[in-house]
Amino acid sequence: MKQTPDDPDLAQEFVEFAVAADVLRFGEFKTKAGRLSPYFFNAGQFCDGNTLGRVAEFYARRLLASGLDFDMLFGPAYKGITLASAVAVALARMGHNRPFAYNRKEAKDHGEGGQLVGAPVAGRVLIIDDVISAGTSVRESIAMITKAGATPCGVVIALDRQERAAHNGVDSPLSAVQYITQTLHLPVAAIATLQDLLHYLQNARDDHLAAYAAPVLAYRQQFGV
């Protein structure tokens, strides 16, 4: 199943916003796969009302442009919880009111109990997350959604790193996003990709930012798909 079409203008607007919000940082960062990356995307920095509201609008715009059919949103713990709830608000403001739910890391054995919180998980369920690194969060979400009797219908993320996934120290020929689309047969829509980030850096008027274009390109040539 192919990814939904990208929107270059929306992607560039998002990258510029993420850089300004210090969500996209440049330097030298060690990834979960043990690679030294020249950039780092930290969705935890969407940590005030203004930045969270703006990123939710980007998600909502990307989602509506994708044409994905969905009945509700699901946010995997932890970052997905905040993102899914904020995106639900943004969608409602755009005239598309949808319920949302999320999961606990550990099932609750008192009160309402269970692992899922929010609206009843039913119908076509869209997963909202920040990035897909190894696909673990998505696979766990699919299992919970399916167990609840609903149907996972797609994933929307902020950034597609477009690099080969690594499992137990061994590089896969597929990226995590490609694994989701080709193996789990779920469409994935990303607000922006590594290629969008590279385009932004290559056209940056700020010399400090432009200097990172070469190392980001080298990283993609080494680890990209």
Instruction: Write the pLDDT tens digit of every residue in 157-180.
Output: 999 999 998 766 677 889 989 999
Active site residues: 108, 110
Backbone angles phi, psi at 151, to 5 degrees: -120, 115
| List of the chain residues with pLDDT < 70 | 1-6, 106-113, 167-169
- 86/152 Cα distance (integer angstroms): 20
Please give the pLDDT value at position 55: 97
* Residue-averaged pLDDT of the chain: 91
Please give the pLDDT value at position 112: 55
List the one residue out of 7, 11, 6 whose CA is nearest residue 199: 11
Query: CATH number of 8-223: 3.40.50.2020, 3.40.50.2300, 3.40.50.300, 3.20.20.70?
Result: 3.40.50.2020
Please give the pLDDT value at position 6: 61
- 46/79 Cα distance (integer angstroms): 10
Please give the pLDDT value at position 109: 52
Please give the pLDDT value at position 2: 39
Query: What contacts 156, CB < 8 A, 6 or more positions away?
Result: 59, 62, 63, 66, 68, 87, 126, 127, 128, 129, 188, 189, 190, 191
Please give the pLDDT value at position 169: 65
Please give the pLDDT value at position 107: 60
